[in-house]
Structure formats: structure tokens, C-alpha cells
Structure 1
Amino acid sequence: MYNGRTDPVEHVSHFNQRMAVHSKNKALMCKVFPSSLGPVAIRWFGGLGEGSIDSFKELTRAFGSHFITCSKVSQPLDSLLSMTMREWKTLKTYSDKYREMFNEINGDFDNVAIRTFKVSLPAEHGLRKSLTRKPVCNVRQLMDRIDKYKQVEED
């Protein structure tokens, strides 16, 4: 259910996924779409003038335009560059925050993400030494290595 506070693009994407089997039937998509709306959005839908929407594409555009202030804005790459482990104290809290921030950046920045994570660790940290001795090739490998070091930290 769309509550009027989350990203409308994500909502339409989820709706399309749920309706994938019926995606060719645009009239059905238009009729079912209101059932995915919560109270705020259903009021908006109810306020649409009769005959003002001619297609599912128009409906989703109008929906996105109305709830545009709820759209997620991707984070700039700079947000990763400014992070340091010292702010977050433990590898677990730092890597969790780093992962969250990385997931909000659009683009293919694996190399930059790996380097910035490594240099933001204290020089004496075992993970930084490990990443220097045996570099990783992608963020998935980085996250796997981080997980191993988090387990050691938690024990």
C-alpha cells in the first residue's frame, strides 16, 4: 500500500512486478492500481477528474508528479569520500553505514568505493592491512571480507 510518504517510482515498480502477468492489459492495470493506494493516495486518486486519464502510463505519470516530493534522491559519490571509521567507532557500525550509503549512489563506482572504504580505516586496522596485501575486485568481495572481520571483532 502506498502511504504517501515513500518513493512513488518504487511503488509503481513494485506494482508492475506484482501485476507482471497482466502487464499487457493496461485497462486492468488502471482498475487495479487504486487497490495499492493508502488513504492519502486514494484521496488524490478520487480527486482525478473523470476522463482525465487515458492510459496506465498517464496514470503513473500523474501519480509520480503528485507525490514527487517523496521521491528518493540518490546520494552523490562525495558522501562515501567523506566517511571515516572514527565517526562510527566499530567496524560493524561503520561498514553498515557505508553499505547503506553505497546502495544509495547511482552509477558503477566499485573501485572508488573499495578504495575509499580502505583508506578510511585506521592504518593499523587488520582489515586495512588485509585489503592492502590482497586487494578485492568488487564491492561484493569487499563486503565478504568485511563480514569476516566483523565476526572477529564481535568475538
Structure 2
Amino acid sequence: MTIHSQNEALMCKVFPSSLGPVTMRWFNSLEMDSIDSYKQLTQAFGSRFITNSRAPLPLSSLLSLFMCEGETLKAYSDRYWEMYNDMDGNYDDITISTFKSGLPTEYGLRKSLTGKPVISVRQLIDRIDKYKRVEEDQLQRKGKE
């Protein structure tokens, strides 16, 4: 759509195709001829749905995360990546170290990350996935006993 950004009529026509049910109801409730430009449409949209926008979390949010007693690796990593995804910026080194430091000292994954460090978030996710599979297998075995 970038090449058509100067065509306001087209932008206004395409805009509704990006809306979900709630925003579509809002869009359909606009009074006929109440919007004169794409800029005015985006301003009206922003004014109506400003509460749905989130400010990015600061990097320090990751520093406060740790795995709770009795929490599964899956639950901890889900919380961690949810918070990570709400941040702006690229902090791979800090991401890796804060995830590791949030694990209990005796935890196998923490020992693995200390003994054989990862150098990218992708590698960290791969290592977490391996440990999650082991944890899930152990939980399934316990459930069958």
C-alpha cells in the first residue's frame, strides 16, 4: 500500500479490511460524510482506540522476572517471551542473561546455559524447547504412575 499512500480514496476504501469485529462496528457507526481524508480517518481511529495502545515496556522489566517455585519451564518461558515481545529494541545479550538468571541456580537449563553459553536469542529458544520437552516427558511419566 505504500506506493498508493498518496491516493487517499483508495486508502480509505482499504482501511476497513484491516479491522476486527469491534473496530468494524465503530467504523460502520461513523456518520456518512463525517470523514474527509485518510488522515482524519486515522485520527478518529486513534482517538477512539487510544486505550488499546500499549507503551513499550522498559528493559528493566526483564530484570524482575524469575521462575517461581513449582512453576514449569513452559510457564516461565511463556511469561518471559510475552514480556520480551512488549519491549522495543534489540537486547539479545541482556535477554539471554536475564532469562538465565531468572532460573533457579540448580536448574538443569541454567547449568547448561552456563556451561555451554548461547550467542543468540534463537539458540536460547532452541535450548529452552529441548528442556521443555524433557520436562513435559517427566510430567507425563509422573501422571501415569
TM-score (norm 1): 0.73
Percent of paired sites with the same residue = 57
Paired with 1:145 and 1:71, the residues of 2 have a C-alpha distance of: 33
Shift of 1:141: 1.1
Name the amino acid aligned to 1:151: R
Structure 1, unpaired ranges of 5+: 1-18
Asked whether 1:38 is paired with 2:20, we answer no
Q: Contact (CA 8 Å) 1:92, 1:150: kept in 2 or not? A: yes
Shift of 1:25: 3.5
User: Structure 1's 139 and 47: CA in aligned 2 closer, same or farther, altered over 3 A?
Assistant: farther
TM-score (norm 2): 0.78
Summarize the alignment of residues 3-152 of structure 1 with structure 2, pairs less than 5 Å apart: 25-34=7-16, 36=19, 37-43=23-29, 45-46=30-31, 49=34, 52-54=35-37, 56-86=38-68, 89-152=71-134
Shift of 1:69: 1.5
Q: Which has the higher contact order (CA 8 A, sep 6+)?
A: 1
Measured against aligned partners, the alpha-carbon deviations of 1:23-82 in whole angstroms (never above 9, x if no partner) come to 564312213434644223432x32763xx523x233223311332111122222222111
Paired with 1:47 and 1:141, the residues of 2 have a C-alpha distance of: 53
Q: Contact (CA 8 Å) 1:34, 1:42: kept in 2 or not? A: no
- SS of the counterpart of 1:46? coil
Paired with 1:70 and 1:102, the residues of 2 have a C-alpha distance of: 19
Name the amino acid aligned to 2:90: D
Aligned length: 133
Name the amino acid aligned to 1:68: I
Structure 2, unpaired ranges of 5+: 138-145
Name the amino acid aligned to 2:122: R
